[in-house]
Copies of this chain bind each other. A is one copy, B any other.
Amino acid sequence: MAIRKDGQNSFSRTTLADVARESGFSPSTISIVLNEAPISRYVAAKTKEHIREVAKRLDYRPDAFGRSLRKRRSHTIGVMIFDISDPFCTLILQGIEKSLHSTEFLPFIVDAHNQREQFERYLAMLLEYRVEGLIVVANWLFIDIETLSELERHRVPTVLVGSEMRSGPLGSVLVNNEQGGYLALQHLHSLGHRKIAFIRGPRQLWDSSRRWDGVLRFAAEVGLKMPKKWVVELTGSSESNSSFDEGRSLTSTMLQNDAGFTALLAFDDLTAFGAVRALRDFGRSVPEDCSVLGFDDVPHAALFNPSLSTVRQPMERMGSIAVGRILNEIQQGGEVAPGKGRVDLLPPELVQRESTGAIHPTSKILARKIGKI
């Protein structure tokens, strides 16, 4: 379309050579000035000014490919998300982005949609783009040892966020699930609940057993009985709202078997939403007739009706810690970093909202009975 006065077709963008020609200096000088390289100290102030002016006028933008090729650096960090529609991932992602913002790195985000095939395809692409570090945000861990050892081979500093590998050399950053489970049950217990139903996480998920360990630890400490009829387990399909649906149907089933529990501890917030729905369908209101406690503290937990009490994972912080560790490893220059394979366990935090409340055995049940008479 438009032809510039130098006769060049404007579709080919302005290059360093263009600026050189236009300003009368060599490409070397232009590069040195625009990058404020150390030797630019010796470039005459007038020259600098002139070059900058010309560069601006021609709207010069250095080409990332030429630059990265020469410098052998991409200035990007790969971020592999397992499922970007999971609000859990979203917040971690925000933490990552915010921390990366003040650095020279650009996040290269891809979403595996919970599919291994995509995971591998995107991984290959990230490697072709020579990402200097890799953050894997795994809400729901389907990758196994094999895939992981593959990650290891690439000699790209890698950190796993939100999930832990049982073994292996990969570092990870996640919440202390054991402690979270402990806190959760402690909360319900402290409100007076003794008949508690549980929806455990899926068996395949390593984190879910850690969480359950915490629950068991507290139960043992106070001698709480946990009848089998009130302990159920998610299957762990990777579909989007499956934990809501499963939470709902599992709760429904439990209610039909023996509705005598006064509190329910769900594996995560979505499961808890499902449980609340089932309870309501059954005619029981939350928290008056049954308390419900979630896990994660996704953004909508506070907006829910009733707002959901939950155990918060410090998701943004997890993201920024992951970035910190990656940056560290990069600076080590590929040497065996000191903290490699380390696991950062962050403390969870109990957030009490409306969905849990103290049990009022006398007053409430009495009031009911009277009402019925």
Interface on A for B, CB 8 Å cutoff?
A: 1, 10-11, 59, 61-66, 68-69, 74, 84-85, 87, 90-91, 93-94, 97-98, 101, 106-111, 113, 118, 124-125, 127-130, 153, 155, 240-241, 244, 270, 273-274, 276-277, 280, 299-300, 302-306, 334, 336
Q: Which of B61, B84, B130, B241 contacts A124 (CB 8 A)?
A: B61
A11 and B240: CB pair below 8 A? no
Query: Which B residues touch A334, using CB under 8 A?
Result: 11
Q: Which of B90, B244, B273, B305 contacts A277 (CB 8 A)?
A: B305
Closest residue of B by beta carbon distance from A240 = B299
Of the A-B pairs whose beta carbons lie under 8 Å apart in the complex, a sample of 11, sorted by A's number, is A11-B334, A63-B128, A64-B129, A64-B130, A65-B65, A65-B129, A87-B87, A90-B90, A97-B111, A98-B113, A273-B303
Identical chains in the assembly? 2
A85 and B91: CB pair below 8 A? yes
The 9 closest A-B pairs by CB, nearest first: A65-B69, A64-B128, A109-B109, A65-B68, A64-B129, A305-B305, A273-B303, A65-B65, A300-B300
Task: Give the most central of A63, A118, A153: most B CB within 10 Å.
Answer: A63
| Chain B: minimal CB distance from A47 (Å) | 24
Query: Which B residues touch A74, using CB under 8 A?
Result: 65
